[in-house]
Amino acid sequence: MASDTAVQTADLHAVPLTLEGLSVLHQMFRFRWPEWRKLTPSRQQEIAREASAALAGSEEGGQTAAYSMLGHKGDLMLVHFRDSFDELNAAELKLNRTALQEYLEPMHSYLSVIELGLYDSSVKLFRQLTERGVAPFSEEWNKEIEQTMERQRQAMKPRLYPKIPDSRYLCFYPMNRTRGEQKNWYMLPIEERQRQMEEHGMVGRRYAGKVQQIITGSVGFDDWEWGVDLFAPEPLVFKKLIYEMRFDQVSAEYAQFGEFFIGLRLPVAELGKWMAGS
């Protein structure tokens, strides 16, 4: 029996199913303060009004949010949620056409799509199909997969197409899973990856109501594999959550982290005050 189980596990399809939702773009800028201060107050106000008007409609729809950044990595972060990459490009171009763009120096950006990994559903479905002798990517396989995906899309729609939370603080960082010589996440059996991800998720669930997390996938879109956005009314919870997660197996053995970016929500109506230093 143990041997049969081992063979069955080894035969399970390796790639978990994922659901994709909104397209997401993070833009980080350094503000050219010396050049800005050379302008007359009336010209500053004119530029601020134009920029606020350009961003206001998107903010009201929960689709663009501005953040005043902490530290040397930038001054202003814009986060855009859109239905497609085409719409993200339009959001970029809209900002580029404003006079404010002359005073924004791009420091970093990140492109991704909201992603929900379906490890648990994938393992259960792949096991059922394997036991029935259904060959991966056969017509029957693809039909069962699509039916499962469609049910999950409907059930998960609020999480795939959310509005940007209005929390005061944002923590954003990209991450990978290890592909090293000694440890390689992608060579583990899918059932072992599912077990570790379930353990990882239990930590996050303990912070429900304190932190809202949005995971985005960026394989093929940017330099890392995922982006993580954490939204909360106070920042210390970011440290506690991320520190606690470092102790679970999937993070301790297989996680690689990029730069961390922290911002304070900046209503676009107050953009002029922010640029005035008040």
Provide the residue count of the chain.
278
- The C-alpha atoms of residue 114 and residue 121 are separated, in whole angstroms, by 18
pLDDT at 278: 65
| 88-105 per-position pLDDT tens digit | 999 999 999 999 999 999
The pLDDT-based confidence of 2 (bands split at 50, 70, 90) is very low
Buried b (16+ CB within 10 A) or exposed e, 25-46: bbbbbbbeeeebeeeeeeebee
* pLDDT mean over 28-34: 97
Q: Which of 17-26, 153-162, 196-205 has the lowest mean pLDDT?
A: 196-205
Buried b (16+ CB within 10 A) or exposed e, 183-193: eebeebebbeb
Residue 1 has pLDDT above 50, yes or no: no
CA angle 232, 235, 241 (to 5 degrees): 80
Q: Is 66 exposed, middle or buried (0-12, 13-18, 19+ CB in 10 A)?
A: buried
The pLDDT-based confidence of 231 (bands split at 50, 70, 90) is very high
| 139-190 per-position pLDDT tens digit | 999 999 999 999 999 999 999 999 999 999 999 999 999 988 889 999 999 9
Backbone angles phi, psi at 159, to 5 degrees: -80, -25
The residues assigned a catalytic role are 173
Work out the mean pLDDT of the chain and round it to a whole number. Answer: 93
pLDDT at 181: 80
pLDDT at 5: 44
- The C-alpha atoms of residue 244 and residue 230 are separated, in whole angstroms, by 15
pLDDT at 6: 41
- The C-alpha atoms of residue 20 and residue 123 are separated, in whole angstroms, by 19
